[in-house]
Structure 1
Amino acid sequence: MQQALDILKKYWHHDTFREPQDKIIQTVLEGKDTFTLMPTGGGKSVCFQIPSMMKDGICLVISPLVALMKDQVANLAKRDIKAIALTGGISTSELSDLLDNCRFGNYKFLYLSPERLQSDWIIERIKELPINLVAVDEAHCVSQWGHDFRPAYLKISALKKHLPHVPFLALTASATQRVQEDIITQLGLKDPVVFKKSFARENIAYMVFETEDKLRRIQQILTKNPEPSIIYVRNRKSCHDIAHQLQSLGYTATFYHGGLKEKEKEANMQAWLKEKAQVIVATNAFGMGIDKPNVRTVIHIQLPENLENYYQEAGRSGRDGKKSFAVLLVSPSDVDIAKSQFIEVLPDKKFLKEVYLRLNSYLQIAYGEGIDETFPFNFNEFCQRYKLPVIKTYNALQFLDRQGIMTLSQEFTEKIALQFIIPSKEVMRYISLNPADEETILVILRNYSGIFDMETSLNTSLVTKKAKITEQELLNLLQRLQHKGVITYRSSGNDSSITFNEVREDNHTINRISKFLENQNEIKTRQFESVVNYTSNTTRCKSRLILDYFDEKENSDCGICSYCITKNKTIKSPLEIANAILDLLKISSLDSKELEQKLELTAQEIVFSLQLLLEHNKIRINTNNKYTLK
């Protein structure tokens, strides 16, 4: 293994392998099929990159994540290692040229999505390449019991017939026992050597705090733990809002989401990596390929969709082995909100059929036709024409894409982007002179807080609905505002395109795939219930709850999570708390939140003591709504 270690030192600048990287590499070099379950941060990519570099030929890497493919290709390029990714939007002729480059250009890594394997001609071209290893990343996608099932992954097993002497390496960061067994079966791995690293992260304290004032709790956490932190939020607007709120409170904060331009993404990420910003507020678009060892705190301020995603995102803390915190802030309404966002928007068979039929009508595809045809597609207009709920419709189209019925050229983006280029006070002056435009402009300003600072994508459906105007009236207004120098805006026309991979067959198409839809809906519901159980369970160690979910048994509590701390904390009597309150109030007047923070107690723990002190005339509430001594 000395050669492998030399490569690790030369290209990755590490002196030793992490357990069990070296064993996986040795197994791959021996030509054996291998299954690897290595939780996030374990260094999975090295397990296929190094053995491939030790052999002649090229490694075929199959991954469903375009962002991750691009990230890995870029990182390899920085190390002067030749790699190429066949992502979407590449024409057939370009693909052919790129595959020629792979064959004759001394490339070491070829990244492609599983959907590419559905093209017979690409399979034929792959057979011509000197493949030395097939690495299947995010391998849980092959299992219908997994949290991200993609039928295109089922085609990978066909490669075994074409590459009988090439070892296959399946990698995943999160899979239950049932999913692990299904991966091995569906990929057709032959007597695979199985490596499973424990999901236990002994240095991470999993914390669940119930709070009405999440921003205040974030302040407390960031003040107590001033090292690099990530705050995960669910949407782009929250990224801007939370980052700006933290900046106004004196913290160095930046943000990251999929809607930013590449230059801004890179600038914001580097600011955080180089610790010019303590906090990065991000959607789940952030984190892939990021290996910053000293992240001390990862905070989620909304419920995650499933524990698989939560575990991966929380696991970006503490990679240096030092004690770190994975904090989930919850309020009483969070479960209902998350249920409406994750569960109630799942399409059933009836709705899926309606969307499929409407789509064919919208694109004017006759029964028995449409295969291999590509159509420009305006998602917002489609939903408006047929009065379809936006998120549920998007989920239905995404399911049709994952089932291979059709291919969406990209994730849908709003087709209008704008920015106000005059100060806010001048906008108010414009409104006073043009009262007919007031409601629509105010709707835009209320819903897009960063629109003075940067070009912002506009959800026209949201704006027209709230302002009670038509899309054409909105477009007319934007044109007027641009003409008068109030805004700059651009319209991208059709925001996507759709290619049909099968002929239109209505009932036959929907009936064939509906069993997968029902199964996926059931899985997503169970996964959400597991999240609710994780947050609401007050009788078990949080670390053990996570290990249980991944079918890993642990008999002892972690000792550092929010449950363990509460369990081990000495319970103070109301009299002790009352005396502690009086001692603090001798120094200065404080409100209940400040008392909670200084005494490190919950509202429930101090409220009785406060009532006692008020009743016995020991304290009073002053005009600033703070408690003070009488």
Structure 2
Amino acid sequence: METALEILQKYWKHDTFRPLQNNIIDSVLAGNDTFALLPTGGGKSICFQVPAMMKDGICLVVSPLVALMKDQVANLQKRDIKAIALTGGISADDTINLLDNCQFGNYKFLYLSPERLQSDWILDRIKSLPINLIAIDEAHCVSQWGHDFRPAYLKISLLKPHFPKVAFLALTASATQRVQEDIIAQLQLQKPVVFQQSFARKNIAYMVFETEDKNYRIEQILTKYPQPSIIYVRNRKSCLDVSSQLNAAGFRATFYHGGLPTKEKDKNMQRWMNEEVQVIVATNAFGMGIDKANVKTVIHIQLPENIENYYQEAGRAGRNEDKAFAVLLTAPSDTIQAENQFINALPDKKFLTEVYIKLCNYFRIAYGEGIDEQFSFNLNQFCQKYGFPALRTFNAMQFLDRQGIISLSQEFSEKITIQFLIESKEVIRYISLNQNDEEIILAILRTYPGIYDMQTAFNLPLVAKKSNAKENQVHAVLQKLKEKEIIDYHAKNNDATLIFNEVREDERTINRVSKFLENQNQLKKSQLRSVLDYVNDGKNCKSRTILGYFGETDTTDCGICSNCIKKQTTPIDNNTLSEKILSLLKMQDFDSRELEKLTKFQSADVIFAIQHLLENDRISINPNNQYTLRK
């Protein structure tokens, strides 16, 4: 039999293993349940792919993202290794054929999402396969204390009794001690051998900068470091806005988010991978499985939800071991925005109870009835009927799903997408000739400013409300605009599927799970608090702060983060800088960006000096947002 190193050299053309890879492989080959915590870029896939190639049979890989599965299957196939991905959208007949191939076609890898394990017949077919190893990728998804909990991951433990002699390998790049223990318990790993590599990324400089003008600071960074970069933003609109601004400023940029058609996603990602563009602006939909070694900078322009997400996203920089930068740009208003998005949208017990009761009423389920009843469900229509805020309602329903009270398919993309095909001046001309349609079209344009540039997810109830029209009136206008080839309009019937798993018992149902809701909310709050502590701490090494969060205490200052550099820098003379600013303002008025250029001081120092001068009434702000001397 070929050795692990020979397999690595033969198929992957590497001469040596990375740290801990060989130890993990040896543990798996010895038949041990194994837990491996390897930071982003640590080479987790090799840990199950190599031992699977050394044994007869097929390796089952449970993975959370279709893109990640497709990428790994494609890479294996390039190496002449037979692999299949059982993703969503495959018909039952095709699924049967794929599983037949796994059973009789000498395949080595079967990738599937955890949701597939919820189909009893698929689970039964898997039990009949010659499984040689079960690998659980992104295993933090199994823990309700993790940052990306997915209830379907809890089903993986159902495989344990059927494969008592098959090793389970759980892999993740970020998990606190509490999450590690929960993963081991939830997967029912038996006396697992635990391998944990340090979270330290010594070549990454973690930088936090407070700035009045984030766009300007981004341009400075991208000019100084023209290598491949990722900019993470919070929503789809920001993807387009930031990308457009960068292109207008002379940079080559594209964007990526979950709402793009698959073809456009692939095209934009390939342009960035092939370095036809320098920058990809993305939501957190862009990440898992992205393997580009020479990313120089990862820039976040809004606060992340938790340190785990931030560490994973920042860790996409510098995988080639060259020095790289993880930059977080902040402004005073960011804290309020983050609390509104991540904390204020959390459901409390009272709101959860109200949502559950209204949900039962919505589908006319009587008290004591409803078990196993299935319905088509539209979140926007439900929220509009009862006046519920959409994000908070979605969070409440996700919680009910995680607790098994309901099962909710995650098909919450909008049913309608539209894009204007003619220029804005032609749209205005059309409005002047069709005044009955004016309110609806203006509501669309105000709600979706990027609708000229891309296919845009369209919320029909929202536009109807904003234009004081009925939904069928909005629909009629859309149809008319499509027929006149003014818009490209696509409607899909992809409401979520909702199944009630228990009989309706109102408060009694919610009382049973309210303790878990309280725990979840406390976790979210403490995670955001850790992010705010990381951002606001101007003294301690940023790298050590991150390592401490993950439980590493025996650490030293990195010497390259923003706080470490601040310690090494000779303190500036604020009086000298203030006088320099005053002398410049004697000539003419300037904004902060111009003062930064002219004084050649750091942005934070200039802002501090400006604030000092404002507080002491030495300068004021004119209507053009420039600073001027007090008369």
Question: TM-score, normalised on structure 1?
Answer: 0.91
Which residue of structure 2 lines up, in the alignment, with residue 311 of structure 1?
311
Partners of 1:153 and 1:547 in 2: how far apart?
Answer: 27
Paired AA for residue 600 in structure 1: Q
Paired AA for residue 286 in structure 1: F
Partners of 2:62 and 2:175 in 1: how far apart?
Answer: 18
Paired AA for residue 607 in structure 1: I
Contact 1:574 1:608 in 2 (8 A): no
Paired AA for residue 404 in structure 2: G
Paired AA for residue 602 in structure 2: E
Contact 1:36 1:196 in 2 (8 A): yes
Partners of 2:50 and 2:587 in 1: how far apart?
Answer: 62
Contact 1:407 1:499 in 2 (8 A): yes
Contact 1:420 1:452 in 2 (8 A): yes
Offset from partner CA, 1:253-280 (integer Å, 9 cap, x none): 0001111111111111111111110000
Partners of 2:587 and 2:561 in 1: how far apart?
Answer: 32
Paired AA for residue 318 in structure 2: G
Would the alpha carbon gap of residues 403 and 97 (structure 1) be closer, same or farther in structure 2, given more than 3 Å must change?
A: farther
Partners of 1:347 and 1:78 in 2: how far apart?
Answer: 47
The CA deviation at 1:370 is 4.7
The CA deviation at 1:362 is 2.7
Paired AA for residue 418 in structure 1: I
Partners of 2:145 and 2:627 in 1: how far apart?
Answer: 54
Paired AA for residue 543 in structure 2: S
Partners of 2:548 and 2:206 in 1: how far apart?
Answer: 14
The CA deviation at 1:330 is 1.1
Gaps of 5+ in 2: none
Which residue of structure 2 lines up, in the alignment, with residue 216 of structure 1?
216
Which residue of structure 2 lines up, in the alignment, with residue 263 of structure 1?
263
Which residue of structure 2 lines up, in the alignment, with residue 607 of structure 1?
610
Partners of 1:521 and 1:79 in 2: how far apart?
Answer: 46
Which residue of structure 1 lines up, in the alignment, with residue 483 of structure 2?
483
Which residue of structure 2 lines up, in the alignment, with residue 72 of structure 1?
72
Paired AA for residue 146 in structure 1: G
Which residue of structure 1 lines up, in the alignment, with residue 541 of structure 2?
541
Partners of 2:546 and 2:290 in 1: how far apart?
Answer: 23
Partners of 1:344 and 1:441 in 2: how far apart?
Answer: 32
Partners of 2:393 and 2:371 in 1: how far apart?
Answer: 22
1:565 matched to 2:565? The reply is yes
The CA deviation at 1:117 is 3.6
The CA deviation at 1:434 is 3.4
Offset from partner CA, 1:549-576 (integer Å, 9 cap, x none): 1111144221111111222211122454
Would the alpha carbon gap of residues 406 and 323 (structure 1) be closer, same or farther in structure 2, given more than 3 Å must change?
A: same
Offset from partner CA, 1:14-65 (integer Å, 9 cap, x none): 3332111122112211212111011111111111111111111111122333
The CA deviation at 1:506 is 4.0
Paired AA for residue 307 in structure 1: I
Which residue of structure 1 lines up, in the alignment, with residue 226 of structure 2?
226
Which residue of structure 1 lines up, in the alignment, with residue 552 of structure 2?
552
The CA deviation at 1:218 is 0.8
1:337 matched to 2:337? The reply is yes
The CA deviation at 1:592 is 3.1
| CA RMSD of superposed structures (Å) | 3.2
Partners of 1:81 and 1:400 in 2: how far apart?
Answer: 41
Give the 5 Å matches for 1:300-379: 300-367=300-367, 370-379=370-379
Q: Secondary structure in 1 aligned to 2:513?
A: helix
Aligned positions, number: 625
Gaps of 5+ in 1: none
Partners of 1:531 and 1:483 in 2: how far apart?
Answer: 50
Paired AA for residue 520 in structure 2: Q
1:62 matched to 2:62? The reply is yes
Further displaced range: 397-406 or 344-353 = 397-406
The CA deviation at 1:214 is 1.1
Partners of 1:22 and 1:495 in 2: how far apart?
Answer: 46
Q: Secondary structure in 2 aligned to 1:357?
A: helix
Contact 2:211 2:603 in 1 (8 A): no
The CA deviation at 1:187 is 2.4
The CA deviation at 1:501 is 4.2
Contact 1:204 1:325 in 2 (8 A): yes
Would the alpha carbon gap of residues 390 and 575 (structure 1) be closer, same or farther in structure 2, given more than 3 Å must change?
A: closer
Partners of 2:587 and 2:229 in 1: how far apart?
Answer: 33
Offset from partner CA, 1:470-528 (integer Å, 9 cap, x none): 32332232223233332232322453323444454544543443332222111111111
The CA deviation at 1:313 is 0.2
Offset from partner CA, 1:301-350 (integer Å, 9 cap, x none): 11111110010000000111111111111111111111111111112233
Question: Taking every aligned residue pair, what percent have the same amino acid on both sides?
Answer: 65
Further displaced range: 25-34 or 278-287 = 25-34
The CA deviation at 1:405 is 3.5
Paired AA for residue 169 in structure 2: L
Paired AA for residue 604 in structure 1: I
Contact 1:349 1:514 in 2 (8 A): yes
Would the alpha carbon gap of residues 128 and 441 (structure 1) be closer, same or farther in structure 2, given more than 3 Å must change?
A: same
Paired AA for residue 610 in structure 2: V
Stretches of 4+ moved more than 6 A in 1? 578-590, 608-612
Which residue of structure 2 lines up, in the alignment, with residue 277 of structure 1?
277
Partners of 1:585 and 1:134 in 2: how far apart?
Answer: 68
Would the alpha carbon gap of residues 292 and 585 (structure 1) be closer, same or farther in structure 2, given more than 3 Å must change?
A: farther
Partners of 2:332 and 2:612 in 1: how far apart?
Answer: 24
Partners of 2:305 and 2:252 in 1: how far apart?
Answer: 29
Which residue of structure 2 lines up, in the alignment, with residue 419 of structure 1?
419
Partners of 1:382 and 1:565 in 2: how far apart?
Answer: 52
Contact 2:37 2:175 in 1 (8 A): yes
Would the alpha carbon gap of residues 581 and 344 (structure 1) be closer, same or farther in structure 2, given more than 3 Å must change?
A: closer
The CA deviation at 1:144 is 3.3
Contact 1:58 1:133 in 2 (8 A): yes
Contact 1:114 1:156 in 2 (8 A): yes
Q: Secondary structure in 2 aligned to 1:129?
A: coil
Give the 5 Å matches for 1:147-546: 147-367=147-367, 370-546=370-546
The CA deviation at 1:372 is 4.6
Offset from partner CA, 1:331-383 (integer Å, 9 cap, x none): 11111111111111112233223323333333344555555554322222222
Contact 1:416 1:489 in 2 (8 A): yes
Partners of 2:625 and 2:8 in 1: how far apart?
Answer: 61
Paired AA for residue 357 in structure 1: I
Partners of 1:532 and 1:140 in 2: how far apart?
Answer: 23
Q: Secondary structure in 2 aligned to 1:231?
A: strand
Partners of 1:505 and 1:209 in 2: how far apart?
Answer: 51
Contact 1:203 1:321 in 2 (8 A): yes
Partners of 2:451 and 2:211 in 1: how far apart?
Answer: 30
Q: Secondary structure in 2 aligned to 1:258?
A: coil
Partners of 1:601 and 1:278 in 2: how far apart?
Answer: 24
The CA deviation at 1:293 is 0.8
